[in-house]
Amino acid sequence: MTAEVTFYVLEAAHEGARLKLACRIVEKAYRAGQHVLVWHDDPAELATLDELLWTFDDRTFLPHDRVIPGEAAAEAPILLSSSELPAGEIPVLVNLATSVPECAARATRVIEIIDGEPGRREAGRARFRAYRERGLQPVSHNVRAD
């Protein structure tokens, strides 16, 4: 059962700000020794994030892998997926999808990143309400984009 849900809310509306913040959050969780699953319902944006994780900071190495249907289970501490789930508990779930994924129930911590784009902002509000309906108390933080 999910123990903690945190929303990070950006004023910026461009996709790049949201994905860069996702990289910083993933890096922080990795440095804290936590395994991370990044979930997204858009495979193309997930591929962009995959590339960004290699390039967003030239001083940082974030070992990550995509979970690909029909292939051997990925074992990197940071996993990216839009369809397949790793087995077992999910210590940190970074959800970039438009809805609350079923795997959120297996996560110890869920992180949601919302930007200023009107459609993503409204979808974020719906996810916030969905967590509350599940009896959780999401916390939100306003974040400035760099």
Q: What is the CA radius of gyration of the chain?
A: 14
5 pLDDT higher than 70: yes
Does 71 have pLDDT greater than 80?
no
pLDDT digit string, tens, across residues 42-68:
999 999 999 999 888 888 888 998 887
Residue among 89, 97, 86 at smallest CA distance from 22: 97
For residue 111, the model assigns a pLDDT of 98
Domain ranges, residue 74: 4-143
User: 38 near 22, Cβ under 8 Å?
Assistant: yes
Give 60's DSSP letter: -
pLDDT at 1 over 60: no
Number of domains in the chain: 1
The overall average pLDDT reported for the chain is 90
Distance CA 67, CA 76 (A): 10
Of 36, 6, 41, 14, residue with least CA distance to 118: 14
Q: Are the C-beta atoms of 110 and 95 separated by less than 8 Å?
A: yes
Supply the CATH number for residue 131's domain.
3.40.50.10110
